[in-house]
């Protein structure tokens, strides 16, 4: 087995038993990146010098722990990569945007700080749709990330670089962010495990804000156990993010036997690829075979979720992106007065999808349209949240988890949806409700259509990551993800 | 279909310079998407607007001091500066 195929746990054991050093691991990954990334383009920056110096320090720390007969942190010496909308001090953070092409981060994001404290190795920064606006990484100003399973197809987005890096063994794990689909869709398209945590479970300090009431960072990894290890490392209260929750993952084992799984009928209607449906139904059957009770549920406001999401997302994004003004950071274009500097810097610096979203958000928030769009969307958000509250309610004989597809179709061809923004948005139809309701959800590889992986989406109630991870781990052992 | 003038008005509010071609494409794209948003008109009325869970988003309004070193780096990242100040074009 190649070093780069090992999971976090296996790497940790190998480091502990002196089978290899963190430097060996790091060099193996850097070699893989050199070999594969020219074609795949998962990385925007490879931080080779940083990685090697971190590896030397990790090896020292491991040797010292060994000498003292102590254990070292699980992530010490493990090579990872970070989505390029998350700050790593001293490294570029471009957000895949021309407006931040040369921007260098002044401090570490809280989750990066936590990972560094454990002694991780940072191999580089991964590609994304500009400001995380998209489902395919085609909106990156620096070029698309290709799907390692079929290079004519997208890796999904917006955390496409993070997903492809894990799938092609160019990082042991990665961090992604999820505002509407952005961890789960690329995880599904690339055949890896991705967890979008509960809103507030992971601090967002040091993440470039896309839509603040929806954004969440999370782990992307080779298997469920690795996701859990990383989630444990990055979650918890942070005084720098007022929305972060004082939350510690409980670690009791939850078995599929005896739990109740809801299957929302709205997620299996028109538009779902029959091949995807077959794989998802098969995964549900496997859970049933293990003793889970399967019930059909209604999430009756589902049909409004996508419109609701795109109004709220674009409204919040239009406000958040006001900070890119050519004054405080990033690209600045000349102008005769201050307004001109704004107009020119933003006009040249932003790509077309970013402009489209700023325009949509500005429209929805503008006088005369606010009630019909933004206010209405907030009301509908309440309905969507109520649907889930009802579905999970113990007093209502509710379910433990919800199983459904991540996307209606597997990875699509590069370019296929680029001229029709609405058709791209429709890729998010099964994922956005989770963000609107602030719930945790995971994408688990459940099978393949030809070469193309398909993920099962497992949704839990707020702060029930343990239930999701526990059941996903059991299911992972009995599902053949290659069929 | 939203009008070209409306696109130009929104672009100005959003502080975005759009080329003629961009304006044209924006008019079409926004119209398609806004038509789709009209779906919400069908949604049942609800009194309860919802953002994230109330209660977890509040904090005391307090100033948290940033270290001088970080502050200097933040200023250094701006395109135009003088000493430890960020420079802007004159407003008045």
Check whether A219 has a pLDDT greater than 80: yes
According to the model, what pLDDT value does residue A427 have? 95
Q: Cα–Cα distance between A147 and A136 in angstroms, integer?
A: 10
According to the model, what pLDDT value does residue A297 have? 97
Q: Cα–Cα distance between A449 and B79 in angstroms, integer?
A: 49
A375: buried, middle or exposed (CB in 10 Å: 19+, 13-18, 0-12)?
Answer: middle
Judging contacts by C-beta atoms under 8 Å, the chain B residues touching residue A209 are none
Q: Cα–Cα distance between A242 and A310 in angstroms, integer?
A: 24
According to the model, what pLDDT value does residue A302 have? 96
According to the model, what pLDDT value does residue B90 have? 84
Over residues B45-54, the mean pLDDT reads 59
According to the model, what pLDDT value does residue B49 have? 54
According to the model, what pLDDT value does residue A482 have? 87
- Asked whether the beta carbons of residue A358 and residue B88 sit closer than 8 angstroms, the reply is no
Q: Which residues contact A187 (CB under 8 A, 6 or more apart)?
A: A156, A159, A163, A176, A193, A194, A220, A406, A443, A455
Q: For residue A202, what is the domain's CATH number?
A: 3.90.1300.10
Nearest to A354 by CA among A306, A317, A310: A317
Over residues A422-444, the mean pLDDT reads 97
Q: What are the structure tokens assigned to A285, written together?
A: 């059957």
A245 touches chain B (CB under 8 A): yes
Residues of the domain holding A83:
3-234
Chain B closest CA to A386's CA: distance in Å? 10
User: Which one of A355, A374, A425 makes the best mutation probe of the B interface by having the most chain B beta carbons within 10 Å?
Assistant: A355
Q: Cα–Cα distance between A126 and A163 in angstroms, integer?
A: 9
- Asked whether the beta carbons of residue A307 and residue B11 sit closer than 8 angstroms, the reply is no
Helix pair A110-118, A224-234: axis angle to 10 deg: 110
According to the model, what pLDDT value does residue A424 have? 94
Helix pair A465-478, A224-234: axis angle to 10 deg: 160
Q: Cα–Cα distance between A426 and A436 in angstroms, integer?
A: 16
Over residues B9-37, the mean pLDDT reads 96
Judging contacts by C-beta atoms under 8 Å, the chain B residues touching residue A360 are 30, 33-34
Question: Is A83 assigned a catalytic role?
Answer: yes
Check whether A183 has a pLDDT greater than 60: yes
Which A residues in the span 418-457 are in contact with B, Cβ-Cβ below 8 Å?
A: 421-422, 425, 438
Which B residues in the span 52-81 are in contact with A, Cβ-Cβ below 8 Å?
A: 52-53, 56-59, 64, 70, 73-74, 76-80
**Is A53 part of any domain?**
yes
Please report which confidence band the pLDDT of residue A193 belongs to, taking 50, 70 and 90 as the band edges. Answer: very high
**Residue of A22, A97, A158, A473 marked active site:** A158
Q: Would you give the distance in Å from CA A322 to the centre of its chain?
A: 24
**Is A367 part of any domain?**
no
Domain B4-42 classified CATH 3.90.700.10? no
Instruction: State the complex-level ipTM.
Output: 0.93
- Asked whether the beta carbons of residue A332 and residue B79 sit closer than 8 angstroms, the reply is yes
Check whether B47 has a pLDDT greater than 80: no
- Asked whether the beta carbons of residue A242 and residue B74 sit closer than 8 angstroms, the reply is no
Q: Cα–Cα distance between A155 and A41 in angstroms, integer?
A: 10
Q: Cα–Cα distance between A256 and A288 in angstroms, integer?
A: 8
- Asked whether the beta carbons of residue B33 and residue A422 sit closer than 8 angstroms, the reply is yes
Q: Cα–Cα distance between A302 and A280 in angstroms, integer?
A: 19
Check whether B89 has a pLDDT greater than 90: no
**Residue of A136, A159, A182, A301 marked active site:** A182
In degrees, rounded to 5, the angle at the alpha carbon of residue A309 between the alpha carbons of residues A305 and A310 is 125
Please report which confidence band the pLDDT of residue A453 belongs to, taking 50, 70 and 90 as the band edges. Answer: very high
Check whether B72 has a pLDDT greater than 70: yes
**Distance, first Cα to last Cα, chain A:** 22
Chain A closest CA to B36's CA: distance in Å? 7
Check whether A58 has a pLDDT greater than 90: yes
Q: Cα–Cα distance between B88 and B92 in angstroms, integer?
A: 12
- Asked whether the beta carbons of residue B40 and residue A376 sit closer than 8 angstroms, the reply is yes
The rounded radius of gyration (Å) of the Cα atoms in chain B is 22
Judging contacts by C-beta atoms under 8 Å, the chain B residues touching residue A310 are 33, 37
Tell me the per-residue pLDDT of B56-66, one tens digit each, with 9 for 90 and over.
Answer: 566 778 887 88
User: Which one of A245, A377, A379, A438 makes the best mutation probe of the B interface by having the most chain B beta carbons within 10 Å?
Assistant: A379
- Asked whether the beta carbons of residue A107 and residue B70 sit closer than 8 angstroms, the reply is yes
- What does the domain layout of chain B look like in residue ranges? 4-42
According to the model, what pLDDT value does residue B1 have? 87
Question: Is A136 assigned a catalytic role?
Answer: no
- Asked whether the beta carbons of residue A213 and residue B33 sit closer than 8 angstroms, the reply is no
Chain B closest CA to A363's CA: distance in Å? 6
Over residues A66-80, the mean pLDDT reads 96
Check whether A36 has a pLDDT greater than 70: yes
Q: What are the structure tokens assigned to A289, written together?
A: 């075979």
Check whether A274 has a pLDDT greater than 80: yes
According to the model, what pLDDT value does residue B21 have? 96
**Distance, first Cα to last Cα, chain B:** 39
According to the model, what pLDDT value does residue A348 have? 96
Over residues A154-159, the mean pLDDT reads 98
Over residues B32-45, the mean pLDDT reads 95
Nearest to A86 by CA among A176, A7, A179: A176
Q: What are the structure tokens assigned to A5, written together?
A: 């195929």
DSSP string covering A350-418? S-HHHHHHHHHHHHHHSTTTTIIIIIHHHHHHHHHHHHHHHHH-GGGT--SEEEEESSSSSPPBTTTTT
Please report which confidence band the pLDDT of residue A92 belongs to, taking 50, 70 and 90 as the band edges. Answer: very high
Check whether A320 has a pLDDT greater than 90: yes
Over residues B8-24, the mean pLDDT reads 96
Judging contacts by C-beta atoms under 8 Å, the chain B residues touching residue A341 are 89
Q: Cα–Cα distance between A242 and A205 in angstroms, integer?
A: 9
According to the model, what pLDDT value does residue B45 have? 85
Number of domains within chain A: 1
- Asked whether the beta carbons of residue B39 and residue A303 sit closer than 8 angstroms, the reply is yes
Where do runs of H (alpha helix) occur along A7-93? 8-16, 22-40, 48-67
Judging contacts by C-beta atoms under 8 Å, the chain B residues touching residue A386 are 48
According to the model, what pLDDT value does residue A483 have? 84
- Asked whether the beta carbons of residue B40 and residue A377 sit closer than 8 angstroms, the reply is yes
Question: Is A315 assigned a catalytic role?
Answer: no
Using H for helix, E for strand and C for coil, what is the string for B6-50?
Answer: HHHHHHHHCCCCCCHHHHHHHHHHHHHHHHHHHHHHHCCCCCCCC
Judging contacts by C-beta atoms under 8 Å, the chain A residues touching residue B18 are 347, 355
Tell me the per-residue pLDDT of A326-350, one tens digit each, with 9 for 90 and over.
Answer: 999 899 999 999 999 999 999 999 9
According to the model, what pLDDT value does residue B48 have? 61
**Residue of A36, A83, A146, A467 marked active site:** A83
**Considering CB atoms only, which of B36, B43, B51 is closest to A301?**
B43
Nearest to A303 by CA among A250, A255, A266, A334: A266
Chain A's closest residue to B18, CA to CA, is A347
According to the model, what pLDDT value does residue B91 have? 81
């Amino acid at each position: 087995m190649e070093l780069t195929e090992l999971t976090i746990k296996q790497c940790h054991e190998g480091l502990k038993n002196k089978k290899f050093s963190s430097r060996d691991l790091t060099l193996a990954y850097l070699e893989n990146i050199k070999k594969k990334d020219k074609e795949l383009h998962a990385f925007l920056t490879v931080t080779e010098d940083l990685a090697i110096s971190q590896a030397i320090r990790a090896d020292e720390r491991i040797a010292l722990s060994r000498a003292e007969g102590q254990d070292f942190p699980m992530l010490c010496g493990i090579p990872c990569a970070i989505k390029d909308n998350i700050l790593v001090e001293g490294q570029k953070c471009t957000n895949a945007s021309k407006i931040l092409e040369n921007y260098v981060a002044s401090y570490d994001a809280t989750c990066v700080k936590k990972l560094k404290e454990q002694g991780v190795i940072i191999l580089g920064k991964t590609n994304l749709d500009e400001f995380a606006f998209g489902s395919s990484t085609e909106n990156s100003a620096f070029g698309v990330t290709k799907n390692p399973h079929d290079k004519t197809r997208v890796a999904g987005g917006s955390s496409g670089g993070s997903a492809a890096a894990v799938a092609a063994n160019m990082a042991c794990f990665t961090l992604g962010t999820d505002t509407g689909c952005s961890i789960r869709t690329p995880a599904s398209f690339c055949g890896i495990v991705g967890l979008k945590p509960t809103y507030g479970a992971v601090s967002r300090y040091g993440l470039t804000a896309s839509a603040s009431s929806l954004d969440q960072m999370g782990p992307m990894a080779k298997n469920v156990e690795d996701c859990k290890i990383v989630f444990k490392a990055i979650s918890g209260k942070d005084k720098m993010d007022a929305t972060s929750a004082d939350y510690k993952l409980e670690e009791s084992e939850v078995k599929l036997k005896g739990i109740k799984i809801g299957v929302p009928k709205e997620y299996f209607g028109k538009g779902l690829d029959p091949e995807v449906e077959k794989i998802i139904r098969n995964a549900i059957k496997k859970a049933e075979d293990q003793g889970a009770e399967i019930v059909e549920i209604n999430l009756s406001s589902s049909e409004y979720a996508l419109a609701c999401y795109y109004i709220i997302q674009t409204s919040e994004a239009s406000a958040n992106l006001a900070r890119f003004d050519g004054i405080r950071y990033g690209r600045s274009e000349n102008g005769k007065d201050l307004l001109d500097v704004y107009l020119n810097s933003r006009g040249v610096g932003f790509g077309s999808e970013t402009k489209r979203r700023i325009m949509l958000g500005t429209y929805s928030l503008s006088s005369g349209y606010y009630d019909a769009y933004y206010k209405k969307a907030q009301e509908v958000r309440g309905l969507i949240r109520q649907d889930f509250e009802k579905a999970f309610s113990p007093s209502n004989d509710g379910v433990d988890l919800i199983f459904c597809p991540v996307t209606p179709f597997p990875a699509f061809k590069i370019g296929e949806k680029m001229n029709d923004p609405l058709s791209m948005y429709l890729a998010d139809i099964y994922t956005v409700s989770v963000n609107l309701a602030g719930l945790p959800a995971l994408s688990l590889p459940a099978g393949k259509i030809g070469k193309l992986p398909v993920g099962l989406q497992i949704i839990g109630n707020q702060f029930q990551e343990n239930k999701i991870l526990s059941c996903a781990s059991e299911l992972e052992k009995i599902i053949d993800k290659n069929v | 279909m939203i009008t070209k003038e409306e696109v130009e008005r929104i672009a100005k509010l959003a502080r975005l310079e759009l080329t003629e071609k961009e304006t044209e494409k924006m008019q079409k794209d926004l119209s398609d998407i806004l038509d789709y948003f009209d779906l919400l008109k069908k949604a049942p009325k609800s009194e309860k607007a919802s953002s994230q869970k109330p209660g977890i988003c509040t904090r005391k309004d307090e100033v948290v001091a940033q270290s001088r070193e970080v502050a200097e780096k933040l200023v250094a990242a701006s395109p135009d500066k003088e000493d430890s100040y960020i420079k802007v074009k004159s407003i008045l």
